[in-house]
Structure 1
Amino acid sequence: MPETPLKNKIISWLKGFDYWFQYVGKRLLEGEGINDALIDITYEFFKEDYGLKTIESERENIAFNEIEIDAAAVVENLQLQLIKDIENVNALAAGQSIPISPNLTIIYGGNGTGKSGYIRLLNNAFSSRGDKQILQNVFSGATAGEPTCKFTFQSTAAPYDLAYPLQKANLEFSQYSVFDTHSIRAILEQDNKLDFTPIGFEFFEKVLQLYEAVKAKLYSEIKTNRPINEFEKFFVNDNAIKNAITNLSANSNEEELNVLGTYTEEDATKLAELIAKREELKALDIPKRIAELQKLLSQLVEFISRQQAILDCLKPEDIEHYKLLITSFHKFQELAKQEGINSLEEYNIEALGSNEWKEFIKASKNYASVIEANRNEIIYPSDKDNCLFCLQPITEKENLLINSYWNLLTSEAEGELNRIIKAIRDLEKRLKGLPPSKFDETTTLFEYINLADATFAEKWKDIVSSSETSRQNIISNLSNINLDLEMASFTVSTTEMNEIDAKIKAAIDELFQKNPAAELAELERQIQLLTDKSLLNKLLEQVLIFVAAHKWAAKAESSASAFNTKSITIKQGELFTTHITEKYTQTFTNECQILNAPKVVQISQKNARGSTLRKLQVAGMVANSILSEGEQRAISLADFLTEVQMNPNNKGVFFDDPITSQDHHRREKIAERLVGLASQKQVIVFTHDIAFFIRLKISAEITDTPLSYTTIRNTGGTPGVINPQLPWIVQPVKARIGTLKDMLVRLKKIEKEESEDEYLFAAKSWYSLLREAWERAVEERLLKGVVERFSFGIQTQKIKKIIVTEDLINEIETGMTESSKWVHDAAAGLNPTPPDTTKAESDLKFFEDFAAKCVTA
């Protein structure tokens, strides 16, 4: 195969660079020397390419003058289609074939299925730093031959086979790479060279001279774009703003600064409120406040006691009682008149029948009783008695008059009338004796409640006022024994005040627990933050200009990696330094970011015998001596992905369990990254992790990435058997129905040919899988895949497809019951008979009908 001309190699190398380097490279390739004009225009193009300057005018197209060559060094449009005819690889089954998808191929194999044997074969056939030790079958006494297999490729023509190891030298084998666990140690510990070899250039001295001149201009401009931070002195409070201002640099986040420096009217209002609250808290005398609240609580308790006592006398039934007493008084007063007073009318007594007259008669009778007691109870009046009032002798007429008085006092109507009068006076006394309650704007209790609930306070103000009015009206009516004034009734209760009582008590408890010093400190912190926010708002434009300058300087300094000053005497080394390093580092950094791998890893390189070697280091030490196992694997994977991307000839990659030792966050990122890579080149993933298998599958389905999958199984003690059927645990309902039908055929055979116990064991196993199929149907068919086991998300967009009916639920319950009762252990005394295959076939048909119905329900 003819050697590619040096100029073409340089041109090929130049085409991988930005416009500025291609531009100057072409001029240098065509023999132009270094001059000020070339330096200036190179520097301008350089700044435009690195985003340090806006492109100001249209650029001319760069057309390189290549030397004609006879053949390409790669196989174009290459695809691997099949791995087949595997022989003498560990204990793998012979004659197996693995179809390979144009995009993503997932190969699942559990422990002991022979997956490692396939990986070792691939490590030998393709580019790899992994485990290449292929052993003979240690369990076979026969002498094994040389490990061989065939790979079916296709480029622009029909598919063709290449045999390994016979045709290992063909270019096709150099265009695929393998990553396995052993690759990690090699990547982390060894000095590695790229698996493709760029060539050096004869014009490197000119390039280096140009580099130094352009770099000098760059650093001169960088220096002018690194102003001193003059803002620190304005911010003295320890908070996020001070931290952001103190650390102003190229790493400052303008968006965060904008957020910190946005000072709104709401912020100003809040600041005023916080200051007021601070002053209020400073002035707050907690013991005094507690005493005030306790006094307020006492007032509330007294108010409730007084007001409830008043309300207890103003219930509707009480008002009716008062009215009845007054009405009864007038009724019996009239009766008493009829019984005795009418007989006295002939005496022409003034104010006869009045209350005052009656009181006069009662007092007279009491006085007469005293006289009677003093003279051995001789009834007064008797013969020769004198009048109690005028002391004149009593005639027969006066005697009759006095006895009429006494008869009046002992009449039944008069007795009842006296009882009513007593009851009225007792009530009057009781109502007068009730201490009044006060609840209006002149009381602190009303002021407190009014602040909390003005409506409630106004309501009780009215209740207190109207109830007191009613009480006074009742007293007046009782006193005058009439119904002249309105007597309002009330059904409310002071229990409505319980909430106020609880609130005051809670406030007291809160004050007991309150720590004003801590609250003041928090208020001060918030005030300082808002004050600093206001200040930053005024300085924000200047701060952003400062940050923009430093970012430009940092970006410019970062871009200075283009001007690598390493020795150009070694063509290969200089090629790596000037062409590969920057892009390799950038790609590696991007991969680390994608995989959430540590960003502290540096790529160290050195030249040795015409080759440039690289090593991953952390602070000058080997990366695996610093990083955790998971981080080591993530970094190694990032490096591998970088290398295959940097190789323009690479067409595909093989991965062996790339998520070992990774947490679920990074597993998801790795799955997404590999699926994304599958849109650019063939990706073949071997894994024993069923959750990762599903992650890859779901990620591919979400991104519409074509994929195929198969499994490696250990069948009858022989590992490496390729089976396109998915493992049971990830099979969808349709596949599980097929599997159960296949197993039912075998179950029928056991039923006919084996013992009852053998059939019982097989039937229990079959029904156990049927039960799992019902569970999967609930996820996949009934819930339409909204929530699935092993899935790393909830497919909310599918919720609208869910239709759950009572019939479907009943069918699930029936199916689960029928499949479950044969799975669990039963009491020996029951001696259950396992269902025959006719019943099993019927139960499977019932499940299949449900699955079909649930899809369209």
Structure 2
Amino acid sequence: MGAVEEILDWSATKLAPWRQDALRRLAGAASLSGQDETELLNLIKEKAGFPLAAKPQAPTPLSKAHLASVASGSPLQIKGIRNVKNVNRLVPAAALSFTPNGMTIVYGRNGSGKSGFVRIFRTACRTRTDNPAKLKVLADVYGSSGGPQEAEIIVDLGGGDVVVPWTAGAPASEALLQVAVFDSNAAQLYVDGGNQIQFLPFGLALPHKLNELCLTLRDKLEAERKPITDQVALVTVAFETPRTTKAQTFYAGLNGKTTDAQIDAAATFSPDDEKRIDELTRILAANTASAADVTALSTWVKNLASESASLGQAFSDKQLDGYRNLKQQSIDARTAAGTKAADLFSSEPLPGVGGETWRRLWLAARDYSITDAYAGREFPVLRTPEATETCVLCQQPLSAEASDRMGRFQAFVSGSLAATADQAETAVTQAIASLPQVEIFASKDWATRLEQIRKRNAELADAVTSFKKEVEARRATALASLRTPETPPSPLAVAALVSPHGALQDLSTVLSAEADALAKADQSGERAKLETERAELADRKILAAGRDRVIKRRDLLKKDALYTAALAEVQTKGITQKANELVDTHLTKIVTDHFEFERKTLEITHLKVGLARKSGQTKAAFQTNPGTTLTKLTSEILSEGEQRALALAAFLTEIAVTEGAGPIVIDDPVSSLDRDRGLKVAARIVAEAHKRQVIVFTHDLIFFNDLCREADDLGVTTETIALFADSANAGKVDPAGVSWKGLSVTKRLARIRNDFSPLKKLHASSPSDYEFKVKHLYGRLRDSYERLVEEHIFCDVVRRGVDRIETQKLRLVHLSDALAIRFHDGMTKANTHSHDNPASETVSTPDPAAFESDLAFIEQLIADIKAESISAESRAEEPRPKRPRVVPRRYRARRGRE
């Protein structure tokens, strides 16, 4: 259906009848006037209101504005996670809130639910873990709740809070890919899998993104192209023999640019061409074999003619009669001999003497006698007066009568009648042996040679075939006549035996002459010319018969060529090379230098592990190199602690070169690390919190304190969360925060002040309850004085529970007498009001004003101790005047004696 007809059919269902008639008249008039079809279509579409296909959007040239940094604007911040459902043992609707600027530390003992939240982040955000089994998030395997694992992650992209839904197994949100997650699974991949830069700076990522687009387009183009290539493979013209004829050369070079005129010229085949093929076929049919083959055939035909003449003579009618007569003579002679024997031996004890059966017995006895029994003596051996011999038949001594009988038998056998019969039978045996064999007619190549004869002379081939059958039948008749024990049968009326030897001799002569001519033709190249001409005509005939298929194949190749050109435009080799050049120029040194910086920061420079770029089509990667040829896996040569430190260095390198300042989530970073390196990790994480939002999950209370102390020293905003679990669920948030022993002095005082606030009203309403609770707060105050010794008096040089002494901080330690007395007074008062006092109430309970004064006292004491430590550090850094060397008295005496 043409485009005009399609529009008119559409109008039949959409327009009023009068408008349909108007359109048809318009189309008819325009068609009769020879109006261009494109103009006609546009006119009809305009009049009919036919829905026009949307024009493809014009491509927009790439400009500098398109290369703007994706990190421009406010970075993503994680505000919290809530409404957690069916994730591990986490309590239903579990939720956490995170400080958007600074660091959030989530502390909890083993099994408190930290891993459940980390697994959510690991599947929702960017992580090195890509194993589906590792990314799988389970429900409570021991619980009874059902349903999918779900949660809501609250983020701020600069325009307010946005809820990002998360479901286990669903694709991650593009926004959350700015968040990097580090945990134990990722640590192993950073060590052995290499540090892969998944988010390059946008300018460097552009070639890789272009490669991704090219690969996507290539897949789509190849999918669209496949039906066409499949049809090209099916729409073919099959030539009988592959050869370099013009027709086959044209067909092999067929392409989308081949015109119909070129196809017609190559596929032209006329009736005269058909006649010429038949003529060439007849000429070459007589010369299909080489000169040697024709010579061999000529010799074979000559031998067949000779055998035909021999067989024709041997099995003629006259010869067959002679074979029957010869057999009859032997039968008659033997009968005559048998008749005389009957007369001579009629009185013998047994009948049949002289007959054929008896004769065979006699001959066997003679052979036995002269060969075995009486070797060398004449048969038969008879009785003599001197000796009595043994009969060779009955194996008993010969009597006189038996000896006489044996003599008479021998006389009969050697008589004239018997001799005549023997001669006649010998003549029959010789006739059987002299019958000629059918050799050439029964040769292995008989069928092949007969077919060669038939191609030249079908009548001769039929005559030879008939002669073969007749000869075989006559030979069988001759054998039957000579071998029969009875009178031979009378001959049947058969056709006369006509030997083809004359015709075969003539053919042999012709073949010999043909072989000579063929040898001469081969030498002159005439045969090759004829074969070439016939091949050209035969292939052109096949091409002409398949002209429609050739045109269809040309059309398919034309479409395929368009896809080939399109696929050439999406090749990625050049883009990949340029991308690697850009990465090497602008990123490789940055990555390797930063990796070295991180290794120095974590004090693992003694490890010979480095980074090497390993890029692909759609990504640039930096893979860890173990620095030895003995293994490809870094994990096989590093301890657990070294692996974790190296993985942290790789992770921090990745986020450093990743565009933007997206948040990072770190789970138990100091697992397997020693104390010294744990402090360095804490300092490094806090330093990173100056640049981006950091969320840390840990079960290590000492590391928790290290993070808090480093954050206080660097002024990083820190929020702490304490998780705990009970027998029912995990992931519960302790409203009181982290346990008391995990708090610094400053946070302890803030907790005390916060807990004391409601006691002011209690002092007026229930003095007893007030006394009970304020006594507890004084105990907390006493704990704070004890912790003050570690943190501020000894400036963390020595801390309980820590297996190291930071001697480099001794320069900060200084405690004046006045401050020592103030400390003693404050500690004494805290002890007094926290211990059990006498019932005589000699020690009164401090009122709210007195307690607040005691809190202010310790806070001021801390401030003064800090000021004095700073002053002491400043004095330690001032250059000291040189003092004269004083030699001890004992050394002076020694020097005098010398």
- Which structure has the larger Rg? 2
